[in-house]
Amino acid sequence: MAVAVLAILLAGCGGSDGATFSETTHAITSGTVSPTASGSASASTSASESGSASASGSASASGAASDLQPGTPPPWPNAEHPADAIKAAGLVAAGAEGNAEHYHAHLDILVDGKAVQVPAGIGIDEVERAISPLHTHDVTGVIHVESPTVGTPFYLGQLFKEWDVPLSARQLGGLRVDAVHTLVGYVGGKPVPGDPALIRFTEHQEIALVYGPAGSTPAVPKSYSFGAGL
């Protein structure tokens, strides 16, 4: 039975730009956000459709040097303790995927021009046989949002919390932004100013995180070909 349930959780499932929030920014990047009944961190400001990440208020704190967290270079395996990582993201795992709202986005990560794999099983707790409303099923980079509520916002920073990989305006895992290295988030091929952790997932969105030498001009994906049912 356990094998059958796990197979369902890990199996693929069928079937705009980023937006911002402010009050929960530091909580998402620091891991102090509390789960709500809806299964996600609450946002105190409405999401815009501009695709930009606000750097005002508590958002500015997430890029401070004092907020840098321990991390390692890629590749990054999935979280060692998924239950704790899901809670750190302010999300609530359940025994089945939510069915009130269901959509997909795609994430590419480029480090020094090389692709970094997004692992399968982010947001899935194999031990407890539970799944977060924000998760991955495979290594394609497709991000699944299957929420028990309609309109609940989900953010890139929450996915990285579930992955247990630090993400802020100043770091990606153990990679730090400095005088000779930059980290830029893109949505639909367009750069998003501010903290990439604040990018809100929307349907069929292509997100790219690009880390590399300052002044470089990498080829950034503008779209993703979602398969049938996604």
**pLDDT tens-digit profile of 24-66?**
344 444 444 444 434 554 433 333 333 444 333 333 333 344 5
The pLDDT value recorded for residue 39 is 53
Residue whose token pair is 């099923």: 137
Q: In a 3-state reduction of DSSP, which class is residue 171?
A: strand
Could you tell me if residue 195 is inside a domain?
yes
Could you tell me if residue 221 is inside a domain?
no
**CA-closest candidate to residue 96, choices 50, 33, 148:** 148
> In degrees, to the nearest 5, what angle opens at C-alpha 109 toward C-alphas 201 and 229?
50
Could you tell me if residue 175 is inside a domain?
yes
The pLDDT value recorded for residue 18 is 38
Share of the chain above pLDDT 90, in %: 69
Could you tell me if residue 112 is inside a domain?
yes
Could you tell me if residue 138 is inside a domain?
yes
Model pTM? 0.77
Residues 75, 76, 78, 81, CA torsion sign? positive
The pLDDT value recorded for residue 55 is 34
**pLDDT tens-digit profile of 153-163?**
999 999 999 99
- What is the number of structural domains in the chain? 1
Checking if the pLDDT of 101 tops 80, the result is yes
Q: What is the mean pLDDT of residues 115-124?
A: 98
| Lowest pLDDT segment from 24-28, 104-108, 116-120, 201-205 | 24-28
Task: Kindly tell me the burial class for residue 99, based on how many C-beta atoms sit within 10 Å of its own C-beta (0-12, 13-18, 19 or more).
Answer: exposed
> What's the domain range around 154?
2-9+18-30+47-213
Task: Kindly tell me the burial class for residue 229, based on how many C-beta atoms sit within 10 Å of its own C-beta (0-12, 13-18, 19 or more).
Answer: exposed
Could you tell me if residue 42 is inside a domain?
no
* Run of H or E residues at 41: none
Cα distance between residue 80 and residue 164, in whole Å: 8
Residues 149, 96, 14, 221, CA torsion sign? positive
| Lowest pLDDT segment from 36-45, 125-134, 176-185, 193-202 | 36-45
Could you tell me if residue 205 is inside a domain?
yes
Q: In a 3-state reduction of DSSP, which class is residue 11?
A: coil
Could you tell me if residue 229 is inside a domain?
no
The pLDDT value recorded for residue 66 is 52
